[in-house]
Amino acid sequence: MIKFQNVEKIWPNGKHVLRNINLEINAGEFVAIIGLSGAGKTTLLKTINKVNSISSGNIDITMNSGKKYEISKLKGKNLRELRTQIGLMSQEYNNIEKQTVFKNVLSSKVAQINIFRAIIGYFLKNEKLKALEALSKLNLLEYAYVRAGNLSGGQQQRVALARTINQNPEIIIADEPVSALDPILANQVMEDFKKINKELKMTIIINIHHVDLALKYCDRIIGLKDGSIVYDGKPQNISKEVLKIIYGGNY
């Protein structure tokens, strides 16, 4: 579970981007955060792994093992430990285009192996099998030995998702992962997120501008406006009136 209590974020320039965020996200949920650009979606998402530090309040994460993390107090080894359990994705694929798809997926294990093996790129048989399994889950096995740069945008984003699940995180946070894709490919990637969420029971929290995709695939919608939560509920309960509250006259 991820629990936000009275979370505030104010940038050094005085911009107030998160206002009194109180929120609980349960294990295994597939959550979409929607709102206008500048509403605080990315800031909120990246407080979970402390890429963005909060100004006040608390964020507590309890893993399936029962281990608890108080995010604002984490640093050094403990922060690195948390981040190995949180997969981070963005609209940039962050693949090494000159390397094969297989090597890109294997790279997610670098932080979890000793430095000598990481330097020489040596992976154990079971680690290789896990990487191939991740590719198989996303129907990418046939591309395992193709250079990542030779794939389409949608395929590259799916490679990024395979790399993320090969990390074996409990939580995936994804910042606009389909914004650069055409509608067909965006739907395919969202299908993949849904599949991983249900089959692997991973908690997935995604920032997304495509409201139709959020409503179609996600179990829960959180609407942000000017840094405040103005909607938190099931997609089927969202009306045009609610969307006008979230987006104003822009919807």
Decide: helix, strand or coil at residue 124. Answer: coil
Q: Do residues 244 and 210 both lie within one domain? A: yes
Kindly state whether residues 64 and 76 are assigned to the same domain: yes
* Residue 45 pLDDT exceeds 70: yes
Same domain, yes or no: 197 and 76: yes
Question: What distance, in Å, lies between the first and last C-alpha atoms of the chain?
Answer: 32
Name the token pair of 225: 């406006």
Give the pLDDT band (50/70/90) at residue 250: low
**Residues 77 and 100 placed together within one structural domain of the fold:** no
Last residue of a domain, one of 168, 187, 209: 168
Average pLDDT over the chain reads 91
DSSP string across 37-82? TTSSHHHHHHHTTTSS--SEEEEEEE-TTS-EEEGGG--HHHHHHH
DSSP structure class, residue 139: T
Q: Are residues 73 and 114 in the same domain?
A: no
232 and 182 in a single domain? The answer is yes
Amino acid present at 41: K
Q: Domain boundary at 168, 200, 224, which?
A: 168
Q: Give residue 251's pLDDT.
A: 62
**Is there a single domain that holds both residue 105 and residue 159?**
yes
Tell me, what's the pLDDT at 93? 82
CA dist 58 and 7 (Å) reads 6
Please indicate, yes or no, whether residues 140 and 195 belong to a single structural domain of this protein: no
Asked if residue 66 and residue 190 are part of one domain, the reply reads yes
What band does 172 get if pLDDT is binned at 50, 70 and 90?
A: very high
Read off the pLDDT of each residue in 9-26 and give the average, rounded to a whole number: 95
Clarify whether residues 178 and 99 are in a common domain: no
Total domain count, the chain: 2
CATH of the domain at 29: 3.40.50.300
Choose one of 138, 168, 198: the last residue of a domain.
168
Structural domain range at position 202: 1-85+171-251
Higher-confidence residue: 80 or 44?
44
pLDDT band at residue 61 using 50, 70 and 90 as cut-offs = very high
Rounded mean pLDDT, 73-93: 88
Q: Is residue 80 located within the same domain as residue 65?
A: yes
In a shared domain, residues 164 and 178: no
